[in-house]
Structure 1
Amino acid sequence: MFIFPKHFDENEWFIIIIILLSSILFKLPKRFPASITILILLLSVAIPKVLDHSIAAISPYDFYRLNDSEKYEVFDLLLDGVYLPFGYLCVYFYDILLPRGVQIVLYILVWAIFAVFFEYINIKLGVFTYHGWKLIYSFPTYITIISLFLSFYECINYCYKKTKKTIEA
């Protein structure tokens, strides 16, 4: 059973606004087959969910709090929707730009900086409340996650193209 917040304030409004802005994703030209899109979106939610609930909510770590309450709220579930556009847009623009060599490093650094900035806004609006975690820890975390995420995309894209060629042959 989900608990509703006792006070409806900035963090809830922020989550709602980001989810509404995420609807813009449906207006973007389609770049990926449905199967790849679904995998990208699922991974965009799964990675932060696992990290948030393993280093944020579970003892002995308990480095930061999600939203207002120690209990799992409806807005903790809706927070998953905030992660969708980040992962999707990261892969979407990667697929458009097709960075190679040093450009990939720069691409990952730019997205990691953007992610830290976005997390900073989340902190200011009360979506995350730190007690033990520092924003500076997030930068190498994002570099690692974005690198793995793009590697995952490259792998599933390769497998999709290889399978498609096999089926067509």
Structure 2
Amino acid sequence: MKLWEDFGGNELFLLLTAAAAYLVYFLLIRRPDKLAKQIRILSLLWGMSIGILYDFTIGGGRTDFYKINDLNNYEVTDVLYYLLFAPFGYFFFYFYEKMKIGKKTFIIYVLVWALSGVFFQWVLTAAGIITLQKEYRIAHSFPIFLLTQTLTGVYIQVLKSKEQLSAGE
């Protein structure tokens, strides 16, 4: 793993984005309506694991549809990129609970998050953090985000049937 090939705009953008995401995360967990500690940890791990899973399957290996940062090899800033998935896992869980997503609002919630994921991927591509390869298009990510967000929502419903998600209730 290299420190970095060239510390430039994409690494700076990634640092600032990660700092902003974690700032929002830390502000949310200070609120009285925060998620329970075990759910908070689970949501962070879920977000990071899903991101790494897709990056190691469709973003690397035999498919290799995109590369992260400057190289197809790993750099230290790639770790920052992977850590960026964690707070978004928490945001998905947190707003799912706070907005009281149910059967009538589930599809809209999932669609908004899937579209947000595509938009964020577009931003990361424009910033030079993600480089698409092998005729892969950002639009190809929409069904992947849709599937992922749907499975995450179903997972939250299973969790809710077994335990309380919020710490403040």
Q: TM-score, normalised by structure 1?
A: 0.88
Once the 2 structures are TM-superposed, how far is the Cα of residue 105 of structure 1 from its aligned partner? 0.5
Q: CA RMSD in A?
A: 1.3
Structure 1 residue 10, shift from structure 2 partner? 2.0
Is contact 1:49-1:80 (8 Å) kept? yes
For the residues of structure 2 that align with 1:141 and 1:151, how far apart are their CA atoms? 15
Q: Which amino acid aligns with 2:70?
A: D
Q: 1:40 aligns with which of 40, 43, 57?
A: 43
Q: Which runs of 5+ in 2 are unaligned?
A: 165-169
Aligned length: 159
1:58 aligns to 2:44 (yes or no): no
Give the letter aligned to residue 103 of structure 2: G
Partner of 2:8: 9
Contact preservation (8 Å) 1:5, 1:73: yes
- Correspondence 1:10-29 to 2 at 5 A: 10-21=9-20, 22-28=22-28, 29=31
In structure 2, C-alpha distance between the alignment counterparts of 1:159 and 1:65, rounded to whole Å: 39
Amino acid at match of 2:9: E
Answer 1 or 2: higher relative contact order, Cα 8 Å, separation at least 6. 2
Bigger-Rg structure (1/2): 1
Range moving further from structure 2, 91-100 or 22-31: 22-31
- The 2-side partners of 1:158 and 1:11 are apart by 42
Give the 4+ runs in structure 1 shifted more than 4 A.
none
Identity among equivalent positions (%) equals 28
Amino acid at match of 1:102: K
